[in-house]
Chains A and B, each alone.
Chain A
Amino acid sequence: MLVFVIRRVLISIPVLIASTVVTFLIVKLSGDPLTPLKQRQSTASPEAKARFIQQETHRLWLDRSWPTQYWHWITNILFHNNWGEQVVGHDNIRTDVFTALWVTTRLVFFSVVIALVLAVVTGVVSAVKQYSITDYTTTFFGFVFLSMPTFWFAILLKQAGIWVNDKTGSHIFATIDQPDSWISPGQLVGHVLLPTIVLGLVGYAAWSRFTRASMLEVLNSDYVRLARSKGLKPRTVLVRHALRTALIPLTTVTALDIAALLGGAIVTETVFNWHGMGYLFVVSLRAIDFNVMLGWLLVTATIVILFNLVADILYGVLDPRIRHA
């Protein structure tokens, strides 16, 4: 088992290194960060403007070759804990990214927990009662949730929240801004509830479909039939024999969907005006604040690779056939 874990960890290191190269190329391809500066009309003389542009180009290392820039960026992060300079502004990019990450983590965490619990319950129920009314209803709504644009639903929900606030004359749902760290639990629920529902819904739809399919496969297998014919209680067969096996692939799928959830967070956070990872990325992409984008992509890539790693190891723990293969 230890060998298996060590091997998996070692494999993910080159993937992470390659991923930094790819993200660097993508950011470089996304545009020239100095375009706004070059296009700006100013009263300064053309020579002064040209000199300023040259200065900025030099400050941001844009006058070096791509390999040099890449090496400068990655070594600065690794050895000096310096994530580079902003194109406009003087924020510490590392602090910015990790502050945003904390905001998003809370959102994603609540959504994943709620969505997973609901998905497993509905998935199991609709598999056990296949082709019943319950099955058809949950299937239909699963498909509807899968087919809904996230931000359309988010805006709708936000309006509903505002409507409830107006009707009750109180401030039950906070429809903009992320919660501060020090508010009471009651306020926290009001704050995170709507964004959590939005973000959780997509995961819920996909995962409940997946649980259903996986559960159906297991329920039709020989060993479940054997367990039934031994005379075990239906409940025992379902929970101890079928569900445990059916949930194994779900762990992988959930871990792999983290990347998609971070993408979903981009939209959700924009609607609810949370200053998390999504907001940070949209703002930096609009301005091609390339060091922020690089830091952002580095952090998300690390998270995704980490979750893939956890999924792999978890799979090995849960299913002995994998780790001995």
Chain B
Amino acid sequence: MLETHDSVTEETQQQRSDSKVEREFTVKERSQWRMAGRRFVKHRAAVVSVVVFILLVLFAFVGQKIWHYKYDGAFLPVDEINQGPSLKHPFGTSTEYDQMALIMRGTQQSLKVAFIIALGGTGAGAIWGVVSGFFGGFIDSALMRFADLALTIPALALAGALARRGGGKLWIIGLVLAAVSAPYVARVVRGVVLSLREREFIEAARALGASNTRIMVRHLLPNTIPVLIVNATLLIAAGILLETALSYVGFGIQSPDTSLGLLIVQAQGAVDTRPWLFYFPGIFIILIALTVNFIGDGLRDALDPRQTRERR
């Protein structure tokens, strides 16, 4: 890969000033990841989203340590409850606690669930897809028919039925939602592996005596990473929304702990009287899902440039 225009002029100017020019320009190697990084930076909405998303994570995880109100424990004094937003309580107060503390905790729990879904879902889906695509034949048909089967059941119904016993434990909800989303990932990964399998480098690896496991782990899996990253971001966004829906039908995280979904559910009767309890958690969910979706879009542009035309 050759240098781009701007860095050429930069290099040559520097070399001219040093007045010991050996070549007109230098050829610097640029790795695939650096190129992807450059393309990502061009997607402005994605870059802004990364910043906002990092702020949200800090708000949830660090904010709780700094903010002097808590989401549990002692209730607020009676004259401070059910107040609208003020300087003391930026997001208002509920009948018990400071809304900002609740939202911090809710964001934290929702993000945790989303991360479990993203890691578990892509992890299981990747293994599922690679094995299915690599072996082909009977194993492939069996694994893919099973994925089809899982997709015949509405995700929310499946998650509700499986999470019902969990009693609102965060990691159970996360794992159930991860299991529900794994078949989607498996299908995509299988598609990628099917085309990779026929390429020369796999043939070369086999000629060198690499075992099936080695080919899958060292040669196929790394090549699916771009697809996996994009899918993981989409799963985070979908996971946050699925968790809120699960809370709504009553099988999500249970109080006294809280999540953004649960906060909205608890506030749905108060839309008229105490709107701040209803709007702020919703806005936070939208912010998280929106930024993650934009980051995913930017990553897709960056990692899989065939899909889009060059951005102007």
Contacts and interface: CB of A to CB of B under 8 A. Distances in A.
A270 B249 contact: yes
A152 B286 CA distance: 10
Question: Secondary structure at chain B's binding surface: helix, strand, loop or mixed?
Answer: helix
Given A26-B161, A149-B264, A301-B152, A143 B294 contact: yes
Question: Secondary structure at chain A's binding surface: helix, strand, loop or mixed?
Answer: helix
B248 A151 contact: yes
Contacts of A31: 164-165
B162 A152 contact: no
A43 to B, nearest CB: 29
B207 to A, nearest CB: 31
B201 to A, nearest CB: 27
Contacts of B288: 147
B178 interface: no
B155 A263 contact: yes
B237 A155 contact: no
B153 A301 contact: yes
A117 interface: no
Interface string A209-228: 00001001000100000000
Contact of B145 (A15, A267, A300): A15
Contact of B241 (A149, A281, A305): A149
Contact of B290 (A27, A143, A288): A143
A282 B293 contact: no
Contacts of B312: 131
B155 to A, nearest CB: 6
Interface residues of B, number: 47
A18 B145 contact: yes
Interface in B1-56: 45
B137 interface: no
Interface residues of A, number: 50
Contacts of B307: 213
Interface string A29-43: 111000000000000
Interface string B243-287: 011001111000000000100110010011000001000100110
A281 B271 contact: no
Given A30-B165, A147-B289, A293-B161, A282 B250 contact: yes
B231 to A, nearest CB: 15
B285 A152 contact: yes
